[in-house]
Structure 1
Amino acid sequence: MTARLVGRRPHVEPEALIAALVPPPHFAKATFASYVPDPDFPSQEAAVAEVRAFAKGVGRRGLGALRRASGGRGIYLDGGFGVGKTHLLAALAHEVGRSAVFGTFVEYTHLVGALGFQSTRAALQDFSVVCIDEFELDDPGDTVLMARLMRELADAGVAIAATSNTLPGSLGQGRFAADDFKREIQALSHVFEVITIDGPDYRGRGDLAFPAPATVDQVLSACAGDDAACEDWGALMEDLTHVHPSRYGAYVEGVAVLGLRGVTPLPDQAQALRVVSLVDRLYDRDVRIIASGHSLGEIFSQDMLRGGFRKKYYRALSRLLAMVAGE
């Protein structure tokens, strides 16, 4: 019987939200050894060495070991899409082990929304290193919130590791993103060492060229398995308004194939940002997507792609293309 997403209302205990802060299945086997640097971009090999050294300096708090050199310090991996920043961040988390937490910027902001600031800080300060993937500067309120959280964690001796992106058209200009990051986090910027990783998107998808949409029959055929879900696009968009984004991971749990019928462009930014969060959780789980209607490459309007949240939308498109292509 085909699974359903619409109507799911997962209940996740606070302890489970913290326990879920681990590298996602897509990066479950990421190690420093499995990162393959591009010889044309020496910064990639240098980044591996620097992140590995940082990992060795992170103490195992709560496990009886003394805090070591990286406690209260930070690294910021700066570069474009597809240069392996998340791979290295996940490798760092795996190297440190159960004294590390790993989540996206959005997941941490959603965590604060679900638990409150003080409870989130109290839970995270028991770890040796907090890994923040896809640090975003497009929402001033969230940026201030996360800067405060990082500052208080660093003051408590927790190491911080973060990544962020330049836009696809700005590859090789990562230093500008780094300057933005350090300016926005202000008082905390002195604890961060910037590690710039150059190179093109390893997937070779700079043009984000999506295949033609599937037919409805093709969608239904692909969703015949027990681990598949088939949803009407409009119904799914409406259902997402009833599920807190911190629970989107549980919302899509157990789904390996997602069929979408009648895809249409998104009418407003609130809906678009919910889709970005959903796409991230689907990508984490290597879900394959097959869709009819409009191309998934057309769901974000040109105004959205030029606006303040454009990095979120470009990341979502890059990940959607990977899932549609079945990579």
Structure 2
Amino acid sequence: MPAPRLVDRHPEIEAEELIAALVPPPRFAGVRFGTYVPNPGEPTQAAAVTAGQRFAQGVGPVAKQGLFNRIFSKRVPDPAPGLYLDGGFGVGKTHLLASIWHAVPSAEKSYGTFVEITHLVGALGFAEAVRRLSTHRLLAIDEFELDDPGDTTLVTRLLTELTDAGVHVAATSNTLPDKLGEGRFAADDFIREIRALSARFTVVRVDGPDYRHRGLPDAPDPMTTDEIDAHAAAVPGSTVDDFDELCAHLAKLHPSRYGKLVADAPAVHIKGLHAVPDQDVALRMVALADRLYDRAVPVAVSGAPLSELYTDEMLRGGYRKKYLRSISRLTALARDAGAGFGR
């Protein structure tokens, strides 16, 4: 019997499911501040732990004004403060963000990637998303990116509404908040919105090398087609896809569905890997790599090495950090697959 394929899956996500899914992914379900191991040579990492703990302790209940106060009070409450963890890929920012989420002692909190939050707004409508999220004490946003003007305006409005309502926002990104969108669209046209967004965050820098590569070898060499088939047969339920077919399938799915696409796969196998043809395909691969990494799904490939997935031109462009993060995460997953195959 042929191995199952991701291209045969067409996951759907209902609005209520989107709300229920706003929790840290499986890889980060058990992390805490105490499980984060700062690099002794990078003092900003220990400082970031302290800043995250302090921020979590300061997250209070959402303020609710009574009718009298709403009618007669002239004072507008200050917006809830936000925390912005900035740094390169592989320094543990997502670990710290999930630790903040776990440390806030309330069920009224949400955690999602940037693409999941924007999709939630699209699915519910802006007003309904604000209504639901404004009852929460915390909104944690991972992989914060502003890739186009529409997202800039949408997220600025959303976070303005939520922080005004008393919701604390913590976020991670590889880009300082006043530099979001730089090199990707005409940021000058949106500088006012970007600065307004930046003003709501305290920036905490997290420096250091990619922990996924500390003392570890490079990604294993690509497998042969026969090795891919043998590895898939040895891991019941794992998927096997042709790279080009998988890329075409991803184009038909919103990236918010990628997590559900791979959620129950014990391993993913991709045949015929080669450099992506354009930036649209590249960004979909970034989103897929992130969801595979979140769920700790081993990845085995044949064809070109993972280091050649993105072209040199792409690695020099505005999405450089996204692409490098993607390669880093896929390399870690390829090691996982190789370890189970005697590599």
* TM-score greater than 0.5 by the shorter chain: yes
What does the per-residue CA deviation read over 1:136-165, in whole Å, with 9 as the maximum and x for residues that have no partner? 244333233212211111011100001111
Alignment partner, residue 66 of structure 2: none
SS at match of 1:193: strand
TM-score, length of structure 1 as denominator length: 0.87
Alignment partner, residue 82 of structure 2: 74
TM-score, length of structure 2 as denominator length: 0.83
CA distance in 1, matches of 2:226, 2:59: 52
Please state if 1:253 is matched with 2:263.
yes
SS at match of 2:33: coil
Alignment partner, residue 51 of structure 1: 52
Q: Summarize the Cα distance change of 1:58–1:227 in structure 2 as closer, same or farther, 3 Å threshold.
A: farther
Asked if structure 1 preserves the Cα contact closer than 8 Å seen for 2:156 and 2:197, the reply is: yes
Asked if structure 2 preserves the Cα contact closer than 8 Å seen for 1:86 and 1:163, the reply is: yes
Residue 7 of structure 1: how far off its partner (Å)? 1.9
CA distance in 1, matches of 2:130, 2:323: 29
Q: Summarize the Cα distance change of 1:116–1:205 in structure 2 as closer, same or farther, 3 Å threshold.
A: farther
Alignment partner, residue 39 of structure 1: 40
The number of residues matched between the two structures is 311
Alignment partner, residue 105 of structure 1: 114
Residue 17 of structure 1: how far off its partner (Å)? 0.8
Q: Summarize the Cα distance change of 1:218–1:78 in structure 2 as closer, same or farther, 3 Å threshold.
A: same
Residue 262 of structure 1: how far off its partner (Å)? 1.1
Asked if structure 1 preserves the Cα contact closer than 8 Å seen for 2:83 and 2:170, the reply is: yes
Alignment partner, residue 25 of structure 1: 26
- Provide structure 2 residue ranges, at least 5 long, that are not aligned to the other structure: 64-76, 182-190, 338-343
SS at match of 1:261: strand
Asked if structure 2 preserves the Cα contact closer than 8 Å seen for 1:138 and 1:309, the reply is: no
Asked if structure 2 preserves the Cα contact closer than 8 Å seen for 1:81 and 1:201, the reply is: yes
Residue 285 of structure 1: how far off its partner (Å)? 0.4
Equivalent of 2:283 in 267, 273, 297:
273
Asked if structure 1 preserves the Cα contact closer than 8 Å seen for 2:225 and 2:271, the reply is: yes
CA distance in 1, matches of 2:276, 2:215: 23
SS at match of 2:213: coil
- The aligned runs of 1:121-270 (5 Å cut-off) are 121-165=130-174, 177=176, 179-181=178-180, 185-204=194-213, 209-224=218-233, 225-270=235-280
Tell me which amino acid in the other structure corresponds to 1:251.
L
Higher CA-based Rg: 2
Identity between Structure 1 and Structure 2 (%): 51
Residue 205 of structure 1: how far off its partner (Å)? 6.1
CA distance in 1, matches of 2:242, 2:109: 38
CA distance in 2, matches of 1:228, 1:37: 35
Residue 114 of structure 1: how far off its partner (Å)? 3.0
Residue 178 of structure 1: how far off its partner (Å)? 5.3
